[in-house]
Amino acid sequence: MDKLLEIRQLSILHKPSSTSLLHPLHLTVHKGESIALVGASGSGKSLIAQSIFRLLPENLKQNGEIFLDGLAITDQTVRKMRGNKMMLIPQSIDALDPLMKIGKQLTTLMNKEKNAQKLDTILEYLNLNHTVLNRYPFEISGGQRRRVLIAIALIKSAPLLVADEPTPGLDVDAREDMLSLLQSLKTKNNGMLIITHDFDAALKIADKIAILREGQMVEIAPIHAFCGKGEKLNHSYSRQLWNALPENSFWGYSHD
């Protein structure tokens, strides 16, 4: 498979204290592939997304190289890449413009000649009623706002899609719908990076799982390695996460 996103020796430093928040890591997402970054809060998952889009706060410094389809992502190139070559579905559902109706936020991103037809198709695909177009973000539910964020990603058709914590706060049915939607967005020509602390969700939608712990990448494993008691996993922390799932009897402990 062709490489889409390639991260080489990425590290992040807190400049005032010289504290390493992310230790040097490598990660490659191929076309047609979805990878989930899994780890506890504070493990560095979202920092990686911010690094890809060059959105780190001023007090943080990133080192290393990141390439998208062979082109280096730098302060100079990233402006043309955001929204065209790569899209971020942010963690916060407040990312939408609160002062602009949903319809205008969507149509301003589209080719005017094909607005109506394409918008109808996307709304139907996401199970969004046309009434949302005449509403402001605060007038629709959190689940609907997440779907609008996905609609923006669909409109732009960027090769790389990064979803930062796409399932928090959703009930069981809404969570399953969101996972199905994300899964359906994958094609042979694009790639996905899903950032989540929901290990079970990662297992359902990713081809590989990259596990972070305290700023270090401990393992990148294919989905088929997560079976049994984790014998095919290389790192003890990976096995602990796997065995901590309820269906694995919590830490491998059996009540039988």
Q: What is the CATH number of the domain that holds 33?
A: 3.40.50.300
State the total domains in the chain. Answer: 1
**All residues at 6 or more sequence positions from 10 whose CB lies less than 8 Å from its CB, including other chains:** 22, 24, 25, 26, 27, 48, 51, 62, 63, 64, 65, 66
By the 10 Å C-beta count (0-12 exposed, 13-18 middle, 19+ buried), 111 is classed as exposed
Spatial contact of 245 and 226, defined as CB atoms under 8 Å apart:
no
Give the model's pLDDT for residue 250.
52
Starting at the edge strand found earlier in the chain, the sheet holding 160-164 runs 86-89, 160-164, 191-196, 34-38, 208-213, 216-222
pLDDT > 80? residue 57 = yes
62 versus 1: which is more confidently predicted? 62
Q: Which residues of 190-223 are buried (b: 16+ CB within 10 A; e: fewer)?
A: bbbbbbbbbbebbeebbbbbbbbbebbbbbbbeb
Q: Report if residue 150 sits inside a domain.
A: no
Q: Report if residue 213 sits inside a domain.
A: yes
pLDDT > 80? residue 222 = yes
246 versus 34: which is more confidently predicted? 34
Spatial contact of 223 and 203, defined as CB atoms under 8 Å apart:
yes
Percentage of the chain lying above the pLDDT 90 cut: 55
pLDDT > 90? residue 178 = no
Q: Report if residue 254 sits inside a domain.
A: no
Q: Report if residue 126 sits inside a domain.
A: no
Highest mean pLDDT among 128-137, 151-160, 245-254: 128-137
Give the model's pLDDT for residue 252.
46
Give the model's pLDDT for residue 193.
96
Mean pLDDT on 223-246 = 91
pLDDT band at 253 (very low <50, low <70, confident <90, very high): very low
Give the model's pLDDT for residue 67.
98
Which range of residues forms the domain containing residue 72?
3-85+158-248
Give the model's pLDDT for residue 256.
35
Spatial distance between the Cα atoms of 114 and 183, rounded to a whole number of angstroms: 26
Q: Report if residue 11 sits inside a domain.
A: yes
61 versus 253: which is more confidently predicted? 61
Give the model's pLDDT for residue 233.
95
What is the per-residue pLDDT across 69-128, written as a single tens digit (0 to 9) for each?
Answer: 999 999 999 999 998 899 998 877 788 899 999 999 988 887 665 566 778 888 888 888
Q: Report if residue 117 sits inside a domain.
A: no
Q: Report if residue 13 sits inside a domain.
A: yes
pLDDT > 60? residue 251 = no
Q: What is the widest separation between alpha-carbon atoms in the chain?
A: 64
**All residues at 6 or more sequence positions from 184 whose CB lies less than 8 Å from its CB, including other chains:** none
By the 10 Å C-beta count (0-12 exposed, 13-18 middle, 19+ buried), 41 is classed as exposed
Q: Report if residue 171 sits inside a domain.
A: yes
**All residues at 6 or more sequence positions from 225 whose CB lies less than 8 Å from its CB, including other chains:** 232, 233
